[in-house]
């Protein structure tokens, strides 16, 4: 049934707050050709009606505060509410970005401390908080790589090697940077094979982008050898650190030989993820790349902190102002609250949770890359599809009926009918047991009651949508019929 819109509920003459009449009539300060001929058609409602409308819509939205959300490659963890309160404190949330440095010492100190802590966690020499997302961190790092190659007069390097398991943002960032992508086929075990890498390397290779742990939830066990090979060939290595939740306090990209890495604060460090809200993808780099980092940088001057804009080799700005500051505040609070031992425990629990789910479901579902996983496990519905016609998408839709957000589907691309599950450290054993039980029930229903799955979801406010039409002909705003 179509959901009533505010326009359906509108009644002529209803109003919210009465605004005082303007001191000047619009005709007095707007040119005549910019004046409306007639008033816009807006819904007319009282304030409680509007509040209830939006509260009802918000309640229909699936979110991690309400339900289990095991969306892989996304680290949809529960974020402690106290960090929201800290980010909402007036001294942070009302600080104007162009406040003079001397009035913003607290904010500068927080950002400086976060840079230092992230550098320690990542094993890097310098960090920039400016990129506003993971993809932006990738793009920024590649721009930094490019500036470094250019500074050495090495302009023939135009190729970037990207494994076939990489997130789609990796090749997209390469293309945005004006370089070409060489796709690297994974080895039998799902990891980068040095033998295949050797064939792909050449003196035109600018970089390798490697996700560790990979999107198969696997640790790249030959990472030291792989990174040394790229360096030997004159290239740089970039770590997509979106899966840092698995490594916190146990292993550092810098120690693995990477030259740059991004980390998603909106995944690993306590900013609510999804819904298109602000995020942050800070990057860490080795010392030789520091001069090329985005401007401005925080420096100490005369016993105080200040923004330094005088950076002749910098690639410039990649985001308005200094990045998404309030996301940095949450991350600072999260690291402060956990401390080193707490962060190590986060990674231990995240990996344990993923392996609990893997071990519990690997008899019922396909596990294309067997063995211990890291923060996520990638199952497959391939056998189920061949036997019953039930696909990964049907499984995902049926999970919604049980109040569980679907895992990531059909990614990584090398796994047929992939279901990528990332429970994260914030879920209880009871939540995971419920998920495991429902996955087993779905496998049984696939054989006995396939229509139940083909037609799912049955219990959600909106039933199965036509995804092709939604992508090709999106309806993004209300129109009067
Ligand atoms: C492995 C990996 N890399 C990069 C990204 C891109 O991050 P963002 O969505 O913040 O741009 C993601 C996002 O989910 C990811 O899973």
Beta carbons of 161 and 207 less than 8 angstroms apart: yes
CA-only gyration radius of the chain, Å: 25
> Atom 10 (ligand 1): residue with closest C-alpha?
134
pLDDT digits over 158-207, tens only?
999 999 999 999 999 999 999 999 999 999 999 999 999 999 999 999 99
Q: Ligand 1: which of 71, 76, 134 to mutate, judged by most atoms within 8 Å of the beta carbon?
A: 134
Cα-to-centroid distance, 138 and ligand 1 (Å): 9
pLDDT at 276: 67
pLDDT at 1: 55
Atom of ligand 1 nearest to the CA of 137: 11
Which neighbouring-strand residues pair with 182? 161
pLDDT digits over 312-321, tens only?
999 999 999 9
pLDDT at 251 over 90: yes
Closest CA to 47 of 16, 10, 19: 16
> Atom 16 (ligand 1): residue with closest C-alpha?
73
Residues of the chain above pLDDT 90, percent? 88
In this prediction, residue 69 has a pLDDT band, given cuts at 50, 70 and 90, of very high
Beta carbons of 215 and 412 less than 8 angstroms apart: yes
Count of beta carbons in the 10 Å neighbourhood of residue 221? 12
Q: Which residues contact 362 (CB under 8 A, 6 or more apart)?
A: 370, 379
Which neighbouring-strand residues pair with 366? 380
Q: Which residues contact 22 (CB under 8 A, 6 or more apart)?
A: none
Q: State how far the Cα of 434 lies from the Cα of 175, in Å rounded to an integer.
A: 42
- As a residue count, the chain comes to 481
CATH architecture of 340-471: Alpha-Beta Complex (3.90)
Ligand 1 contacts (CB < 6 A) are 73-74, 133-135, 167, 169, 211, 215, 240, 242-243, 264, 279, 281
Fold of 81-336: 3.40.640
In this prediction, residue 156 has a pLDDT band, given cuts at 50, 70 and 90, of very high
pLDDT digits over 440-459, tens only?
999 999 999 999 999 999 99
Q: State how far the Cα of 183 lies from the Cα of 199, in Å rounded to an integer.
A: 12
Both tokens of 128, joined, read 């920039």
Q: Give, as one character, the DSSP assignment of residue 404.
A: B
Distance between alpha carbon 225 and the CA centroid of its chain, in Å?
A: 28
pLDDT at 18: 77
Closest CA to 213 of 346, 341, 351: 351
Closest CA to 266 of 255, 258, 274: 274
Closest CA to 322 of 312, 310, 308: 308
Q: State how far the Cα of 43 lies from the Cα of 51, in Å rounded to an integer.
A: 14
pLDDT digits over 1-51, tens only?
567 888 889 999 999 887 778 888 888 889 999 999 998 888 999 999 999
Q: Give the DSSP H/E element, type plus range, for residue 206.
A: strand 205-211
Strands (E) across 228-276 are located at 236-240, 260-262
Cα-to-centroid distance, 261 and ligand 1 (Å): 12
Beta carbons of 348 and 287 less than 8 angstroms apart: no
Mean pLDDT on 425-435: 98
Cα-to-centroid distance, 399 and ligand 1 (Å): 24
Domain ranges of the chain: 81-336, 340-471
In this prediction, residue 272 has a pLDDT band, given cuts at 50, 70 and 90, of confident
Predicted TM-score of the model (pTM): 0.93
Q: Ligand 1: which of 74, 163, 169 to mutate, judged by most atoms within 8 Å of the beta carbon?
A: 169
pLDDT at 325 over 90: yes
Q: Which residues contact 415 (CB under 8 A, 6 or more apart)?
A: 216, 368, 378, 380
| Average pLDDT score over the chain | 95
Atom of ligand 1 nearest to the CA of 264: 10
Cα-to-centroid distance, 379 and ligand 1 (Å): 20
According to DSSP, the β-strands at 180-184 and 159-163 are parallel
pLDDT at 481: 67
């Amino acid at each position: 049934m179509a959901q009533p819109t505010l326009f359906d509920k509108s009644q002529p003459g209803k109003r919210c707050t009465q605004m005082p009449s303007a001191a000047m009539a619009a005709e007095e300060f707007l040119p005549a050709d910019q004046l409306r001929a007639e008033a816009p058609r807006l819904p007319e409602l009282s304030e409680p009606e509007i509040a209830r409308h939006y509260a009802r819509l918000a309640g229909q939205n699936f979110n991690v505060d309400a339900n289990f959300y095991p969306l892989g490659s996304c680290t949809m963890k529960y974020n402690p509410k106290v960090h929201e309160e800290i980010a909402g404190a007036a001294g942070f949330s009302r600080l104007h970005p162009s406040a003079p440095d001397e009035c913003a010492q607290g904010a500068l100190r927080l950002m400086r401390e976060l840079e230092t802590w992230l550098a320690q966690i990542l094993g890097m020499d310098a960090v920039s908080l400016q990129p506003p997302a993971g993809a932006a961190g990738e793009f920024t790092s590649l721009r930094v790589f490019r500036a470094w190659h250019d500074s050495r007069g090495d302009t023939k390097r135009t190729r970037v090697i990207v494994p076939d398991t990489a997130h789609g943002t990796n090749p997209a960032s390469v293309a945005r940077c004006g370089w070409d992508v060489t796709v690297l086929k994974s080895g039998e075990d799902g990891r980068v094979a040095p033998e295949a890498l050797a064939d792909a390397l050449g003196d035109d290779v600018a970089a390798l982008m490697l996700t560790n742990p990979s999107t198969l939830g696997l640790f790249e066990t030959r990472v030291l050898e792989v990174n040394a090979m790229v360096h030997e060939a004159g290239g740089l290595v970039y770590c997509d650190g979106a899966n840092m939740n698995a490594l916190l306090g146990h292993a550092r990209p810098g120690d693995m030989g990477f030259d740059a890495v991004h980390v998603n604060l909106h995944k690993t460090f306590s900013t609510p993820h999804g819904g298109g809200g602000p995020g942050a993808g800070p990057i860490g780099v080795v010392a030789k790349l520091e001069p090329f980092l985005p401007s401005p940088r925080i420096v100490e001057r005369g016993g105080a902190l200040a923004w330094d804009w005088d950076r002749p080799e910098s690639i410039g700005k990649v985001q308005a102002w200094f990045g998404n500051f309030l996301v940095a505040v949450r991350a600072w609070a999260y690291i402060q609250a956990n401390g080193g031992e707490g962060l190590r425990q986060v990674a231990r629990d995240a990996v344990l949770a993923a392996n609990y789910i893997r071990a519990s479901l690997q008899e019922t579902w396909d596990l294309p890359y067997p063995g211990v996983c890291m923060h996520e496990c990638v199952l497959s519905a391939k056998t189920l599809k061949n036997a019953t016609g039930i696909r990964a998408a049907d499984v995902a839709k049926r999970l919604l009926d049980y109040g569980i957000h679907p895992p990531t589907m059909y990614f990584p691309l090398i796994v047929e009918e992939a279901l990528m599950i990332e429970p994260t450290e914030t879920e209880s054993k009871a939540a995971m047991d419920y998920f495991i039980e429902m996955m087993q029930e779905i496998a049984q229903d696939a054989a006995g009651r396939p229509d139940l799955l083909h037609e799912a979801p049955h219990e959600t406010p909106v039933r199965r949508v036509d995804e092709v039409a939604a992508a090709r002909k999106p309806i993004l705003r209300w129109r009067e019929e």
